[in-house]
């Protein structure tokens, strides 16, 4: 039931923008709770990397006196990876196209994260 609701949030998130190529909800210890990923991506690897990056981002933000972490953004030649907290126990990871309109994606991911936090 909860997994279906989480998957529904991801479907809605992916549907809000053609720029979003994939998304996942991951526990802070790296386990996939729900995902909409292309077949060629290993869910376990995405989960582990997302949790590790967000943890490192948290530490970096605190150590460098930037306050609480809002998001981690990785930009590569083939697009973006955006990670953000969804409550205290989960991470939302989104993969977007290289020409994505990031402002709109940030808003959509924030809304999805708030809905996920209510469920978890």
Condensed to tens digits (0 to 9), the pLDDT of residues 22-54 reads: 999 999 899 999 999 999 999 999 999 999 999
pLDDT tens-digit map of 66-88: 999 999 999 999 999 999 999 98
Q: Is 105 left (phi over 0), alpha (psi -120 to 50) or beta?
A: alpha
**CATH annotation of 2-119:** 3.30.450.30
pTM greater than the 0.75 cutoff: yes
Confidence band for 3, pLDDT divided at 50, 70 and 90: confident
Q: 2 with 34: CB under 8 angstroms?
A: no
């Amino acid at each position: 039931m909860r997994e279906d609701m989480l998957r529904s949030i991801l479907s809605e998130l992916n549907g809000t923008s053609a720029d979003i190529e994939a998304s996942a909800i991951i526990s802070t210890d790296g386990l996939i709770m729900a995902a909409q990923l292309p077949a060629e991506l290993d869910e376990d690897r995405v989960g582990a990397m997302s949790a590790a990056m967000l943890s490192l981002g948290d530490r970096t933000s605190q150590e460098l006196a930037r306050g609480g972490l809002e998001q981690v953004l990785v930009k590569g030649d083939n697009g973006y990876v955006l990670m953000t907290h969804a409550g205290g126990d989960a991470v939302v990871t989104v993969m977007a196209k290289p020409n994505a309109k990031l402002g709109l994606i940030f808003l959509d991911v924030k809304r999805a994260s708030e809905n996920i936090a209510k469920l978890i």
